[in-house]
Amino acid sequence: MGEFLRTSPELAAHIQAAAEQIATGARSQGHRVTSGELLPIEVLEDPGPDRVGFTVAVKHPAGMGMEAKHGVLTRAAEAVGLDVHGIDTHHDT
């Protein structure tokens, strides 16, 4: 099983596709930075020593604030059916 988690191209493709879905959902929210550009959201290969992996990241200084205020990545991940735990973005403020 460990070998499969580290080396399977099929697993890597499936995980990358899920990450791309999340990134697309986050981008579709239309959040913009102060320059007017769309918030840059990228999918990065992020393997661990024991598994393939991909990370969806906001590569901009405003990223943490956007996640805290709008839950950009959290909401996008939940929209594709993932159970996300972390910052509570579902409160009324």
Domain segments of the chain as ranges: 1-80
**Which pLDDT tens digit goes with each residue over 61-86?**
999 999 999 999 999 999 999 998 76
Token couple for 83: 């159970």
- Helical (H) or strand (E) element with 63: helix 63-70
Q: How far is CA 54 from CA 36, 45, 78, in A?
A: 28, 4, 17
pLDDT of residue 54: 95
Q: From CA 57, how far away is CA 59, in angstroms rounded?
A: 6
pTM for the predicted model, two decimal places: 0.83
Q: How far is CA 91 from CA 67, 68, 80, in A?
A: 13, 11, 20
pLDDT of residue 89: 53
Beta bridge partners of residue 54, listed in sequence order: 45
